[in-house]
Copies of this chain bind each other. A is one copy, B any other.
């Protein structure tokens, strides 16, 4: 069978068919019957090119198995169009929300997220990896890694933002929720709704999020003449939080001595606390114990928990993060800011309300 001649396919460039390395933008231009500059513009983010031209170029590139020299365009623009996101895991349900929102936001500006999921404490090794990929910027969202790494990155003149944590050093941009204000709002709410004995389950002791939430709680309780009556550490982990709940409520406490409210430093841990209170300990939430979390992850609205919690607003936090990265990319001498996004208390049914 004789195939019909297709003129646009009939004039392959030199080297065609001899392996993928020999295919050039010239070959693509010839097959698509456009100029070489049109091919180049078709593969350059933001460059002006007619949609039908671009589609022809794309089609030709696909047929030839041509991969545009993204690398050459990176060299000329000095941009890789990648932002690295460093975090230790995705178990806390706040982080999938952050990753999804951040990816979609960056994609609007022509960037993609390169993931570094690591629990390593070897900051040098991680820095080396980050340098290798020549990312345009870095979002440090891990609680486990010290701010020392962020400082090293800043020293290497790579745009960096610490997300959801603060740094003692002023030379690194940070974005966080108003953790202090959130903790204080929980204290006032619990006191004003008649709770007398407030317990606290802490996150990772060395994290700024935990420190600020606890400080806010203590300050707010003090303003109402109360104090934290019991405390255990959940380290932001589900299983540890279940154990912490056992530790706080599992003894032979007369009910008059038992805490009547529990503030948990993250929703992820609060779910474990509620499960443990209701299951192993046979206590009612909120009738016996009110539980308040922090984050307002999607699961906090689920019918089985209906968790009263402090909302961290992912969208404005991410918008601030992206703006700061882009500013640093434009001018690496820009002043480093510390953005604190307001929080708000979301009332559901895991905590008793004030009698009205």
Say which size band chain A's interface belongs to.
35 or more
Whether the pair A131, B304 counts as a contact (CB closer than 8 A) is no
Q: Once bound together, how far apart are the Cα atoms of A302 and B89, in whole Å? A: 19
Are A114 and B113 also in contact (CB < 8 A) when A67-B134, A274-B304, A299-B299 are?
yes
Q: Once bound together, how far apart are the Cα atoms of A271 and B107, in whole Å? A: 31
Which residue from B20, B127, B157, B304 sits with its C-beta under 8 Å from A58? B127
Whether the pair A43, B303 counts as a contact (CB closer than 8 A) is no
A100 within 8 A of B: yes
Whether the pair B70, A155 counts as a contact (CB closer than 8 A) is no
Whether the pair A61, B112 counts as a contact (CB closer than 8 A) is no
Whether the pair A113, B115 counts as a contact (CB closer than 8 A) is yes
Q: What 0/1 readout, one digit per residue, does chain A (194-210) give for beta carbons within 8 Å of chain B?
A: 00000000000000000
Task: Note all chain B residues with C-beta closer than 8 A to A43.
Answer: 128, 131-132
List the B residue with the shortest CB-CB distance to A98: B90
Which residue from B20, B124, B134, B278 sits with its C-beta under 8 Å from A71? B134
Are A62 and B127 also in contact (CB < 8 A) when A99-B90, A100-B89 are?
yes
Tell me which residues from 300 to 317 in chain A have a Cβ below 8 Å from any Cβ of chain B: 302-305
Whether the pair A131, B68 counts as a contact (CB closer than 8 A) is yes
Tell me which residues from 229 to 265 in chain A have a Cβ below 8 Å from any Cβ of chain B: 238
